Amino acid sequence: MARALAVACCVLILAACAGRDRAAEQLQPEKLYEHGHKSMMSGDYRGAVRYYEALEARFPFSEYSRQAKLDMIYSYYKSHETESAIDAADQFIRENPTHPRVDYAMYIKGLVYFERAPNFLERWFNTDLTERPPQDVRGSFQAFQTLIERHPNSEYVPDARQRMIFLRNHLAEYEVHVADYYLRRLAYVAALSRARYCIENYDGAPATRDALDIMISAYDGMGLTDLAQESRAVYALNYPNAHPERTHKRDWWPLW
């Protein structure tokens, strides 16, 4: 009985969706947009997407369709269809580079990357996300950076700047994690390269202190005492009340 009831409910839902789609096919562009906007404002983002997709399919060159594309980016974002949101944002930016609200598409794209949540296994095991390759973090940082460079007067710039500070710190921490990994394996050139990249690209991030520390240890490990001393001088100038702490040796486990 329970299974039969569940099947009946599914049939009713599918019938209702089909009826809504058939009704949408009869609407003019302004009505399609109106229904989509009402659905979006009421929190029915998937319903809004259906109306907007119907509008774009039937009236692709109407002014309503262009506005619907912007609303569709937001609706995809709110319904957690992240790939669709990013694709829709990229398409709008590419096709409407001079549109007065293209900055909005860039901002939402940055938000989508920014708010991608870790999967359930990472939450369950409390994974340190600074140790994971930060593709989404880079995507968000680049989207916000593009927004700020191309539209410095946009209303979304202040929030984008604050988010970029957080993202910068995250990216710097990841570079330090990788540099530290190489340092512990006495791969001094690789460690030095990642530490220098962190300092040059994420100036102001707290992790740059650790990056400078790694540079000192890497130069010491390679026997480049002059460069190590110069790095110590830079460290002392920037952190007068602290001292470099890394004195890494090779990890105890064998390298296969």
The share of the chain scoring above pLDDT 90, in percent, equals 64
State yes or no: pLDDT of 181 exceeds 70: yes
**Region for 60 from its dihedrals, namely left if φ exceeds 0, alpha if ψ lies in -120 to 50, beta otherwise:** alpha
Report pTM: 0.75
pLDDT mean across residues, the chain? 83
Of the pLDDT bands very low, low, confident and very high (cuts 50, 70, 90), residue 142 is: very high
Of the pLDDT bands very low, low, confident and very high (cuts 50, 70, 90), residue 149 is: very high
Please report the DSSP string for 20-73 in residue order: HHHHHTT--HHHHHHHHHHHHHTT-HHHHHHHHHHHHHH-TTSHHHHHHHHHHH
Q: What is the pLDDT of residue 108?
A: 96
| Maximum CA extent, the chain | 82
Radius of gyration over every alpha carbon of the chain, rounded to an integer in angstroms: 26
State yes or no: pLDDT of 22 exceeds 60: no
Cα three-residue angle 141-144-147, rounded to 5 degrees: 150
